A = this chain, B = another copy of it.
């Protein structure tokens, strides 16, 4: 099997990207930045892009001042000690609120991911813009597919693309780079049926490879002053997607969720 093990893995930050606003050409800017930085893409490289810049160019900024929170948002906001307008947006992005406690709303996003505030985020917006928050992309898989198509066409290589965000975990402190949308790869690696070290067959090993790649990229994707919202991960083994693929295989079906 083709395996990163032989040669190792590298994670290359993409320097020099500008600040982005709604309508900007993110794929074009990434392509130009790669060229300027003399990073030559190779077949099976994975581009990881931070959700924040994807959301910005897709116009997913929302102004809080125009929002009239409903009774449910007002009630939840009181329990969570959060702004009712923010909670109104959280409810709009969520298929279910799973836990509400002071300072915390854990929600199942309409895409199926479980995360704090259903991805509604008030950090890293422009100064003077404390009225605004940023939602996840409408369809993170579609965002990844679009970036993939543009960059494959421009550079003539076979790529995968991951839209990543920093998500918390139920039992662990700290966020972790996590895949929220993918294109050009299966987000899991299914090793069931492969032989183990002793020639026996692995019974149950599915690896969340898109999350591992997003986590590796997160080590160079800055969230603070450095502002590096994208990276190339080179040398990771992944399986090709059937057709368009998408994040679905990486999400535990609700009926298997022991922690609803």
Asked if B175 contacts A202 (CB within 8 A), the reply is no
Q: Is A227 an interface residue (CB 8 A)?
A: yes
Asked if B11 contacts A9 (CB within 8 A), the reply is yes
Write the nearest CB–CB distance from A92 to chain B, whole angstroms: 20
Asked if A191 contacts B258 (CB within 8 A), the reply is no
- The interface residues of chain A, by DSSP majority, are classed as loop
Q: Is A71 an interface residue (CB 8 A)?
A: no
Asked if B173 contacts A252 (CB within 8 A), the reply is yes
* Contact partners of A226 in chain B: CB under 8 A: 1, 3, 5
Within 8 A of B (CB), among A80-109: 99, 101, 104, 106, 108
A residues at B contact (CB < 8 Å):
1, 3-6, 8-13, 15, 19, 99, 101, 104, 106, 108, 113-114, 123-127, 166, 169-178, 187-189, 191, 194-200, 202-203, 205-209, 211-213, 215-216, 218-228, 231, 235-237, 249-252, 257-259
User: In the bound complex, how far is the Cα of B222 from the Cα of A1, in angstroms?
Assistant: 11
A207: which of B4, B166, B236 is its contact (CB, 8 Å)?
B166
Asked if A174 contacts B189 (CB within 8 A), the reply is yes
Q: Nearest chain-B residue to A214 (Cβ)?
A: B215
Q: With A173-B249, A175-B208 known to touch, is A6 a contact of B10 (CB < 8 Å)? A: no
Asked if A211 contacts B215 (CB within 8 A), the reply is yes
Asked if B127 contacts A212 (CB within 8 A), the reply is no
Asked if B174 contacts A11 (CB within 8 A), the reply is no
User: In the bound complex, how far is the Cα of B168 from the Cα of A211, in angstroms?
Assistant: 12
Write the nearest CB–CB distance from A107 to chain B, whole angstroms: 11
Q: How many copies does the complex hold?
A: 2
Asked if B188 contacts A220 (CB within 8 A), the reply is no
Write the nearest CB–CB distance from A36 to chain B, whole angstroms: 15
A174: which of B5, B123, B169, B250 is its contact (CB, 8 Å)?
B250
Asked if B174 contacts A188 (CB within 8 A), the reply is yes
Q: With A219-B4, A252-B170 known to touch, is A203 a contact of B259 (CB < 8 Å)? A: no
* Extra A-B contacts (19), CB below 8 Å, given A1-B225, A114-B170, A123-B202: A4-B11, A4-B13, A8-B11, A8-B13, A11-B216, A99-B259, A106-B258, A113-B171, A123-B205, A127-B199, A172-B208, A173-B249, A173-B251, A174-B188, A174-B206, A174-B208, A207-B218, A212-B215, A212-B219
Asked if A197 contacts B219 (CB within 8 A), the reply is no
User: In the bound complex, how far is the Cα of B101 from the Cα of A232, in angstroms?
Assistant: 40
Q: Nearest chain-B residue to A249 (Cβ)?
A: B173
* Contact partners of A124 in chain B: CB under 8 A: 196-198
